[in-house]
Amino acid sequence: MDFKAKLEKFVTWFQALPEEDQDELMKMVYSEYKVRDVVRAFSSMPTVQRQSVFQRLGLPDELLTKIPSPGSADTGDLEVEWQEWDGKNK
């Protein structure tokens, strides 16, 4: 199935969903986009700058190892693992 046919099939499926489900799905997609954008921004920073930002935001240091090093984001799609994070457990 080519891209155009897949797109048309998806749009038809999406339009058949109740409005609440369409809204929820759009929110999820937008949230995923924002997460990927943040990861790209962090991956473009030198490690020292990234560590400084993480400390100011109170993010766990273990996240530093999960973000690609500077320059590696240019090679393709970033893999982002979605996990709930509780800022109280640092």
Model confidence, pTM: 0.54
Find the distance separating the first CA and the last CA of the chain, reported in whole Å: 47
Q: What digits encode the pLDDT tens for the residues 22-67? A: 999 999 999 999 988 888 888 888 888 888 888 888 888 787 777 7
DSSP per-residue string spanning 54-84: HHHHT--GGGGGGSPPTTGGGGSPPP-----
Residues 6 or more apart whose Cβ sits within 8 Å of residue 44: 70, 73
